[in-house]
Amino acid sequence: MTDLRTYARSFAGGEVTPEFFGRIDDVKNQTGLRTCRNFIVKPHGPATNRGGLMMVRKVKNPAVKTRVIPFVFATDQSLVIELGAGYFRFHTQGGTILSGGVPYEVANPYAESDLAGVKFVQSNDVVTLVHPNHPPAELKRLGTTNWTYSTISFASPLAPPTGVAATATPATTTPGTPTLQSYTVTAVSGQDESAPAANSLSGSVTLTGITKANPGVFSATSFTDPGFTVGDKVYVSGVGGMSEVNGNYYLINSYSFTPPGGGEFPTPGIVSMTLKDVSTGTPLNTSSFSTYSGGGTVALVGAARCSNNLFDTGAYNTISWAAVTGAKRYNVYKLSNGLYGFIGQTENLSFTDDNIAADLSRTPPISETFFGSANNYPSTVGYFEQRRCFANSDMQPANFWATRSGTESNLSYSIPTRDDDSIRFRIAARERSAIRHIVPMADLILLSESAEWRVTPASGEVLTPDVSVRAQSFIGAGAAQPVIVNNNLLFSAARGGHIRELAFNWQAGGYITGDTSLRAPHLFDGAAVLELAYAKAPVPTVWAVSTTGKLLGLTYVPEQEVGAWHRHDTTDGAFESICAVPEGDADVLYAVVARTTSLGTERFVERMAPRQSTDDATGFFVDFGATYSGAPVDEISGLDWLEGKTVAILTDGAVHPKRTVVGGAISLDIPASLVHVGLEIEADIETLPLAFEAQGYGQGRPKNVSEVWLRVFASRGIFAGPSFDKLTEHKPRTTEVYGAPPNFITDEIRLAITPTWSNDGKVCLRHSDPLPFTLVSMTLGLSAGG
């Protein structure tokens, strides 16, 4: 028999799967744990019990699922939004925003079944929300109790100019042969540009027929000539049957008007025209289109026309229009070769064309409706390089759309394409690649259900409509919105539920992924991750909610190669939703927890107390709890949500005997001025099977641990033993004054534990008092058989 001592200097490997126990060669085996429950691993090695969960408020509809999402305007202005079926509520600093003494609410259209699928992104005071069953919308903060929810309009906020007219001023001497000039005008403010001015002529007709031919003939009736001419630009909409022509711009290829018939019963005139493609000039072939069934409109695009010979000396045309609210300037365009080209900009309400050449590289914006109906609403949203981005509608799951540069909602484009135009493309992939997430990193990253994609400019450094889309890996992402940690992206895998990291690797020349859950698959197998949240401080932790109702934590410092998993549960409760927001010097986790209460299953918004290193009595280490602070009292009331529960109590820094809440109240043995009351948190640490310097690393030899040395920091309430049913308590009191709570310990302490022979030589630690506990290192004294 051999007497040995082992030394565990760090627990930064976190909890690992039992299938990993044989990997004695792996560095994580030297720092890992069999169990790390309700403990948080710190990056530099210690393990500390997590802070408690303070009850903030019961959700509005406690019988149905509810979410929490973050709102962070600045580090000192953060809120948690309670996203429920039909409403929003708002919480901050552990309290709820009230108006007139009741929670302030804003209505929304979401049903309980919609909530899990709502994706969101924030920019300043605006949260954009998308869901495939609802039009994209904005939740805007105008004041603390002044929020609005509204559907997004994807047109320029500027109205197109009206009253546009063109007046010719011919040359005063021997004018030449006049030609027809057409003009249109747009309003401009910042990066926003309105649609071109509406037609001020009669210039629209209601169709009576479209032939299936090459070219197709468009027919209409009218008692007056609409005034169309060859080369005019027109827009077709509302056609029944032959829907292929709807929503498109064309040029008039041929045009005729037969005047109306006279007599006692006059007949209307006949309009007949063929159209051609704007960019190629190819006549429109409708022979393979659907059959026309009725209706539809052909409208003239352009605002004003006049005849003049601008090559004559002194000849010019004057274009005028009415003012547009919000406009700072106006762009003027002239028709040339079938396109309206830019001829100038002005702050005035008129412009003079004295034969300015039209710049056909800059044309008026063209607006289209992408998200105007069911099955066309996007499912995910993000921001990248001053563009708001959307992706994945039911009809076009692999499609991506981004607004014009510098705009929030303008999806217009130009012919020919300009660099600041809106962007749209479809991922071409060999497998279905519905885009699930849009992530802004150094490059635009799209996570689809089958692969990870890098979107870069085809040329230059800024993203334009000319893009390159390349797959980086073929893992596929789950539904949980990913988080960014430093330069790394963490996301749940589409299958298997593991959390993967994606980061740029210069040697690979692109992004590579890795499995952060490789050593802890037992926390994920057979389950899925519902939500992710990232808390930067005081311990950088990626939190994950599992379908098991457990809360999983990953202490994650990639540049130091630290990735340690720990798991968390709560008495009579299951975690359903989480988010993290900055409050003071810490990022605080909020959760929706479904709990069994005296009224059945109810849901509550709860706030995890930040776990700071402290040796005073202010730390909060109970769940579903509350704090009383004030004059000394011997009864705590108002605990209705804890009715019938046995609660842990801390009074002025001392552990008080447990009580059962009756009538929403508990009595205290002695009056106290600072009282924490809530459900007990049972925090466990269990070591890995022992391995030591011996033949076969000591495997195959029975082991008996008889004493444990624990180096602790600012701790009380310490139990240890060979199993959780054989625990020995460290004597809490030493030289404290009678009546004062025991001192916190920062030292190495020795516990003689129940000797037990076993193959593993493991040690179990349990902490269940409402007090802080931090384990820095552990030394075991043991005997090993031959």
Confidence of residue 677 (pLDDT cuts 50, 70, 90): very high
Residue 508 has a CB neighbour count (10 Å cut-off) of 9
Calculated CA dihedral for residues 346, 347, 350, 351, nearest 10 degrees: -10
Q: Of 368-377, 502-511, 607-616, where does mean pLDDT reach its minimum?
A: 607-616
How high is the pLDDT of residue 681? Answer: 97
Most confident of the following: 150-154, 173-177, 594-598, 609-613: 594-598
What phi and psi, each to the nearest 5 degrees, are found at residue 20? -95, -5
Give the pLDDT band (50/70/90) at residue 782: confident
CA atoms within 13 A on the CB side of 245: 40
Distance separating alpha carbons of residues 524 and 509, to the nearest angstrom: 31
Q: Tell me the C-alpha distance between 322 and 318, whole Å.
A: 14
Residue 202: pLDDT band (50, 70, 90) is very low
Mean pLDDT of 278-298: 91
Band of residue 1 on the pLDDT scale cut at 50, 70, 90: very low
Give pLDDT, residue 335. Answer: 87
What is the model's pLDDT at position 614?
53
Q: What is the pLDDT of residue 697?
A: 59
Torsion 173-176-179-182 (CA) sign? negative
Percent of the chain with pLDDT over 70: 95
Q: Is the pLDDT of residue 696 over 60?
A: no
Q: Over 80: is that where the pLDDT of 694 sits? A: no
Phi and psi for 412 in degrees, rounded to 5?
A: -75, 165
Which band of pLDDT confidence, cut at 50, 70 and 90, is reported for residue 693? low
Amino acid at 318: T
**Rounded Cα distance, 35 and 550, in Å:** 14
Ranked by mean pLDDT, the top range of 255-259, 617-621, 639-643, 697-701 is: 639-643
Confidence category of residue 199, pLDDT binned at 50, 70, 90: low
Instruction: Please state the CATH superfamily assignment of the domain spanning residues 165-353 in this structure.
Output: Ubiquitin-activating enzyme E1, FCCH domain (2.40.30.180)
Confidence band for 198, pLDDT divided at 50, 70 and 90: low
Highest mean pLDDT among 255-259, 509-513, 530-534: 530-534
Question: Both tokens of residue 267?
Answer: 């007949």
Q: What is the pLDDT of residue 443?
A: 93
The pLDDT value recorded for residue 63 is 96
Q: Give the pair of three-digit tokens for residue 165.
A: 């007219």
**Token pair for residue 131?**
């869901």
Average pLDDT over residues 117-124: 96
What pLDDT score was predicted for residue 76? Answer: 85
Which residues does 74 contact at the CB level (< 8 Å), separation at least 6? none
Question: Which helix H or strand E contains 30, and what residues bound it?
Answer: helix 27-31
Nearest to 688 by CA among 703, 676, 707, 678: 703
Domain ranges of the chain: 2-11+687-784, 165-353, 623-679
Task: Please report the pLDDT score of residue 753 as a whole number.
Answer: 86
What is the average pLDDT across 715-725?
Answer: 90
pLDDT for the residue 556: 95
For residues 341 and 334, the answer to whether their CB atoms sit within 8 Å is yes
Specify the range with the lowest mean pLDDT, choosing from 43-57, 498-512, 670-684.
Answer: 498-512
Question: Above 50 in pLDDT, residue 180?
Answer: yes
Per-residue pLDDT band for 735 (boundaries 50, 70, 90) equals low
- Average pLDDT of the residues of the chain: 90
Averaged pLDDT, 235-251: 89
13-42: pLDDT as tens digits:
999 988 887 777 777 777 889 999 999 999
**pLDDT above 70 for 754:** yes
Cα distances (angstroms) measured from residue 241 to each of 212, 215, 294, 297: 12, 18, 7, 13
The percent of residues in the chain predicted with pLDDT above 90, rounded, is 65
In angstroms, rounded to a whole number, what is the distance separating the alpha carbons of residues 127 and 133?
Answer: 18
Indicate if the pLDDT at residue 495 is higher than 90: no
Query: Which of 92-96, 256-260, 683-687 is predicted least confidently?
Result: 256-260
Q: Which residues of 69-90 are buried (b: 16+ CB within 10 A; e: fewer)?
A: bbbbeeeeebbbbbbbbebbbb
Cα Rg of the chain, angstroms: 35
pLDDT digits (tens, 9 = 90+) for 600-656: 999 999 999 987 655 455 789 999 999 999 999 999 999 999 999 999 999 998 899
